[in-house]
Structure 1
Amino acid sequence: MILPRFELHQPASVREAVELAARLAPDFDFVAGGTDLLQNYKNRLNPKPHVVSLARVGELREVTPRRVGALVTLAELEASELARKELAVVAQAASKVASPLIRQTATVGGNLLVETRCFYFNQSRPWRASKGFCMKAEGDSCLVVPQKERCYATFSGDLAPALIVLGARVRLVSAAGEREVELARFYEGDGIKRHVLRAGEMIASVEIPEPPPGLRAEYRKLRLRDAFDYPEMGLAVSFATRGGRVESLRIAATAVDTVPLVFDGLTSAVYGQPLSDELVEVLAERVMKAVTPVKNTALSPNYRRRMVGVFLRRMLRGAGAKA
């Protein structure tokens, strides 16, 4: 398929990029690796007349124990000795994205902002025209849950849950200045709105706080094949104990809703308790019931929901055995 016509802008600095964004908004898209955006453009999924490439903005490529630049590629993150030591769960999640070839180009910022996905959206324009356009692209109704109030396209990024359970924040930059937002609060709305980015704003980096002593974290991904596929469901858990009792526990899920789901309201109730098999079972059941996926991926909603419980039991029992 051929890309639509657009004007390409290639700033050499963050300042130049955000000044361009302020002038062009809302008629532009940022592009980094382009593994998601350009495929969507080929399918005529909401293309813009202007594209601002960040490929020449070298200041967004650093990796430190507490910061990851938005233009760091997933392959760089996966291979980084520092990331594997200090941010192991993030490197683990990066290693599960797509395929090795795609990870050479795909970026951290791009994965955090990956477009939500749906059977009725991720198709060619002729296919969508034959079925009737959905509200996410050229139509006015959701075709998964037929109504006109909300889009149910699914968020399918792998890095977000892994970073959320570490308490990460995103540093956002625009011509008006900078701000930081907790990643767990960055995502909101439905499959169209998705996040709290303002017009002309971009992710510059991810800021990760110092972890508590003994924190362990893991990310598991459910998918049809062991490479290339987006998650059908992904689960991240971080866990720390003191004196055999839960001191810290965070759980986040991807690919089961329009945004990553965070279960702090459920996990805070187990602080101070020993992580017994009974407690794990109760927590797994509660988290599973809080997940309500819809039928817009290959696997059934019920199976994806049940696998949340399966993954969580395995992860927490494994963490408890190592405590």
Structure 2
Amino acid sequence: MKLLDLKNDGVDIQEQIKLSKYTFTKTGGAAQYLAFPKNKTELENLVQVACEEELPLTIIGNASNLIIRDGGIDGLVIILTKMNQISVKGNKVVAQAGARIIDTAFTAAKAGLSGLEFAAGIPGSIGGAVFMNAGAYGGETQNAVDTVTVLTRASEFKTYTNQEMEFSYRHSLVQENGDIVVAATFALKPGKKLEILAQMDYLNALRRYKQPLEYPSCGSVFKRPKGHFVGPMIIKAGLQGKQIGGAQDSTKHAGFIVNKGGATATDYLNLIHYIQKVIKEKYDIDLHTEVRIIGKK
């Protein structure tokens, strides 16, 4: 079986497509091959073909906390956003990897299930949220996950428990072993629908007030160093508003870097490195990126 065979069988496979069409920063080079599987079978076949043809394989969700370098990505890039089904089973919500975590949180809320309120404004996919152990406003993905179904690079489906996922701050097992998140099951608690929705509306209002949603961005750029907050540290260092090319450290939230117009991934990376350099010089603190950075220079 080859990629062309899968394409002839109806799998959405494209060639030399600019990934800036899909990233939240509106930057990034081209994918050699880009595929959008609609189900587990198509995903499994794509992974098998990539292995057989010795193609590098890259998995992308909603591309919200991601920077793809301007050189693009060789091999096969798989975007999972067409695998987006969400279902409610008792006190559990099952969501495929390509479903938005926002949609999953609202599905839970409408079913009177509490535990995903923190995710009401996170723009990423379920797969990305699990991969990064995404969090906001005191909540993290690990707090709600019951099990995670993955596809290994050897094309084997497995299910991990919460404990087996080895969650920690912005980390999970699948970052280490290369498994592909296929779906996640969330164990939630019964609550009052209107109260859950009100809490989500409140958190989204905070987000609109504090975050630069009017510009393309990759969300929060840096991990929080122990004992410090990144935004105030950047402000104190005089870096808020610093701009390189079209990329600017946001004047609204210093922990975000926004595309003010015409930014490239290289602009983003140069600004990230500059901020890291200055913070290290001023405070002897190493800032590590939360945003995932992939692709060729």
If the length of structure 2 is used for normalisation, what is the TM-score? 0.47
Q: Which protein has greater RCO, CA pairs closer than 8 Å, 6+ apart? A: 2
Structure whose residues are more often strand by fraction: 2
